[in-house]
Structure 1
């Protein structure tokens, strides 16, 4: 008999027909039949930012070189190709972000533009600039920014004429983010620039994404989503409500994957295609997430996509996280339609692209063969490889390439002799895992109103079994493992080791 690892669905009751569990820790869905390990964070950069990372972007130049931009409350930084040290590339005098605000970046051609509340839009041209500088022209300040078709668009704006406009968007001349004609001018019409206030009770603009499956872009408010559709002169863009009551309270939760954007809504997790939202967390993780997240720090809920492993990730602070620094990671595998969970302490996560090194250029990293943080065959050293990056609580760049974190998982719960109403007596199990150092405990209870009690953890013996002594009507297994493994499936219960209690 096989007891598989239960799906992670902590919202469901402990004994349910779906066979789900609330106890999956440091495991991600790997296949339809198995779970995979979660690598610990391994530092890559030789230095860190001055304080908590508040935004990051990987930019690519015309030579396919990869640049990592990031920012904290006072500075903007660059990790250039062939380097492991961050350089401060702030404009003179730096910045002062109010508490709770974040940096948002976009790349338009060879230009990287950064936006944050109270700051002038910042511009850095790849292979030209040495420091960020105020974007040329007369752009407004803005909290959010995106690239949409042939334009840059900003939202939740402030300027000397209009003041603070949390429901306003504006875009410059087509193909030129440095030209922002005056509103209503002939030049604005000729250059296809413009602006729009989107009035209503949907609250402030909380985020923007471009180039979706059924829309040219989307604007996320606190309680609504509006589609952005290119329609040509004279209006240039049309704005249409597509979600009447749902938006996002967490601006950094938006995680775009091609034509889709995943996000945290007011009541749970969703996937949005430019027209409609599909719930992905209902009856599985939504209620548990909202019970556990520290709602005073929703600005620290960070979404990112790992396309290699088909995962959408949300880093967030639990109610017990000191200072609201994230300590939890919930993930959704869109191909398997399964959830996972890990304990991760980090400032920020993002989709990284490795910069590429040869044996000769490794000297430029500052490491020697003896001090390399990764093996020579690691994907970290291969240019153009996509992998998940993070900023640690020490504000250093790290990758999830360290040794696997200690993992815990519960199997489904069974009632082996339910038809007879008899208790089961179990004496041994075989953990179905292809590596590591697993132990097995058996959870027992005779009534559904009782919480299960677990046997002492039993290690793997020379026969490949974990001996146990369990006597109860309902049984489940808890597997804990450390070390390297690839697939964890559950436990096998040998037929000769399971009996009706009181019989041999």
Structure 2
């Protein structure tokens, strides 16, 4: 048997336990499962999205917001269209919105626009909160923090206690802190006891000390930073982020100190930096999917000429395994919608059988944030559609340890009906493979092949419905002479 192991393109090309390349599937404990396609849910946003946010009302309902270079928008769940809640902004291309929620107020900002506020209770329009322009907004305790301000790029400022409309200096709980090193503040994340501040070349913790001499104290815990303002995300007490040398997970407690785990080392780091467009490295975006225990980074590859992104690199933090999706997207998000009744579904589709997203999906029940994205037409899509076409490729394997072999058939261990194989053959370890096929599966489950070489690579493509792919079995091969 040849198992389809973890995706680890940085490993040796002769490591038969890992896959050097795969796409459009996700890891499970004993193999691989399909990844759902991104199916459109909303009408098109009036402009290219450069920010999104999922806010929660006191009644438990969700409200979806999105930002563009010129406006802010709210999704109308009844029409699935976008309602303008703010306009006249002048973001430069490449700038993005940062959002946060303080009580029943959504705040939004960037380095071109004074921080805006939106009242959730009234579904109101955006109004100016304060004349401050910030790259990152986050909440710590009873205060709103603004990081990467235009006039304080390497520091943070925070509001008065329990009053985000007031921004005093050294009074009422409000103040600012400029950091002596670490560079620009790019992203901040709220935590249970404080926050993380990720700079260009440092990580700092914010310790919340209510009732103390100082509300907040700051500690530099690592001399490693984040590549851009959207390249990290916090899940619970762990922050996942992309640094200049790879992917990391970081957590910090006063009792145990800093735990910095290089989750991409010797697995995906080298391959990522080899293919990513380094000129757009600061645009890499990171999103968490807590339901599926996945964190994903979306990026553009060198030579890609589309609008924004074309590859998603995902990490399953329970299994410690990576996967890869290939799909053109302009923004990745974790979003939800209000629930739907059967009557409202009739308005969406005249036939329930024609719904692209399954009725079992959390999209229809609401209240469960799921992985979402905006496609090239600026429509909000949920990763809840039909299976994406998946592909798995092995490293070079020498089936006959004394010479060449002729592979005449192989049986994929999968419940997929539509599976085909290609075989790559080479005469020695340094030759590029010559690919044979594709070969199609027979009713017996076996795939007849004919591929003569000293080294073989196996490539399986799956389409349609399936639930598991474990690897290859019953490989029929016999010793063969040189050709």
2:136–2:229 Cα contact (<8 Å) kept:
no
2:144–2:158 Cα contact (<8 Å) kept:
yes
Relative distance call for 1:436 and 1:195 in structure 2 (3 A) is farther
Relative distance call for 1:374 and 1:382 in structure 2 (3 A) is same
* Structure 1 unmatched ranges of 5 or more: 159-163
Structure 1, residues 314-373: CA drift from partner, whole Å, max 9, x if none?
11111122255101111111111111111111111111223211113346x655437744
2:142 maps to: 150
* Aligned mate of 2:195, from 214, 217, 224: 217
2:22 maps to: 24
> Please, which moves more after superposition, 391-400 or 354-363?
354-363
Matched, 1:270 2:270: no
1:5–1:412 Cα contact (<8 Å) kept:
no
1:6–1:410 Cα contact (<8 Å) kept:
no
Structure 1, residues 235-260: CA drift from partner, whole Å, max 9, x if none?
2111111112x101221111221111
Distance 1:394 1:359 in 2: 28
User: Superposition pairs for residues 197-212 of structure 1, below 5 Å?
Assistant: 197-200=178-181, 202-211=182-191
Matched, 1:239 2:218: yes
* Aligned mate of 1:501, from 475, 480, 483: 480
* Deviation (angstroms), 1:175: 2.0
1:258 maps to: 236
2:71 maps to: 75
> RMSD in angstroms over aligned alpha carbons?
1.9
1:4–1:412 Cα contact (<8 Å) kept:
no
User: Superposition pairs for residues 27-176 of structure 1, below 5 Å?
Assistant: 27-29=25-27, 31-45=28-42, 47-90=43-86, 93-135=87-129, 138=130, 140-158=132-150, 164-176=151-163
1:310–1:335 Cα contact (<8 Å) kept:
yes
* Deviation (angstroms), 1:139: 5.2
2:399 maps to: 416
Distance 1:309 1:203 in 2: 34
Distance 2:50 2:420 in 1: 40
Matched, 1:467 2:448: yes
Distance 1:369 1:327 in 2: 32
Relative distance call for 1:366 and 1:19 in structure 2 (3 A) is closer
3-state SS of the aligned residue for 2:386?
coil
> Please, which moves more after superposition, 202-211 or 403-412?
403-412
Structure 1, residues 293-314: CA drift from partner, whole Å, max 9, x if none?
1122234311111122221111
TM-score scaled by length of structure 1:
0.89
Relative distance call for 1:342 and 1:375 in structure 2 (3 A) is closer
3-state SS of the aligned residue for 2:430?
coil
Relative distance call for 1:278 and 1:313 in structure 2 (3 A) is same
Matched, 1:384 2:367: yes
* Deviation (angstroms), 1:179: 1.9
1:411–1:490 Cα contact (<8 Å) kept:
no
2:20–2:394 Cα contact (<8 Å) kept:
no
Structure holding more strand per residue: 2
User: Superposition pairs for residues 255-404 of structure 1, below 5 Å?
Assistant: 255-274=233-252, 275-322=258-305, 325-362=308-345, 367-369=349-351, 372-404=355-387
Structure 1, residues 409-468: CA drift from partner, whole Å, max 9, x if none?
1135432332xx133232111111112410112222232111222221110112111001
1:139–1:180 Cα contact (<8 Å) kept:
no
TM-score scaled by length of structure 2:
0.93
Distance 2:274 2:396 in 1: 24
Distance 2:364 2:24 in 1: 25
Distance 2:229 2:244 in 1: 12
3-state SS of the aligned residue for 1:450?
coil
> Please, which moves more after superposition, 105-114 or 474-483?
474-483
1:177 maps to: 164
Distance 2:369 2:39 in 1: 16
Distance 1:366 1:429 in 2: 45
> Please, which moves more after superposition, 75-84 or 54-63?
75-84
1:105–1:145 Cα contact (<8 Å) kept:
yes
Distance 1:481 1:366 in 2: 30
Q: How many residues align?
A: 474
3-state SS of the aligned residue for 2:274?
helix
* Deviation (angstroms), 1:83: 4.2
3-state SS of the aligned residue for 2:53?
strand
* Deviation (angstroms), 1:37: 1.7
* Structure 2 unmatched ranges of 5 or more: 253-257
1:318–1:324 Cα contact (<8 Å) kept:
no
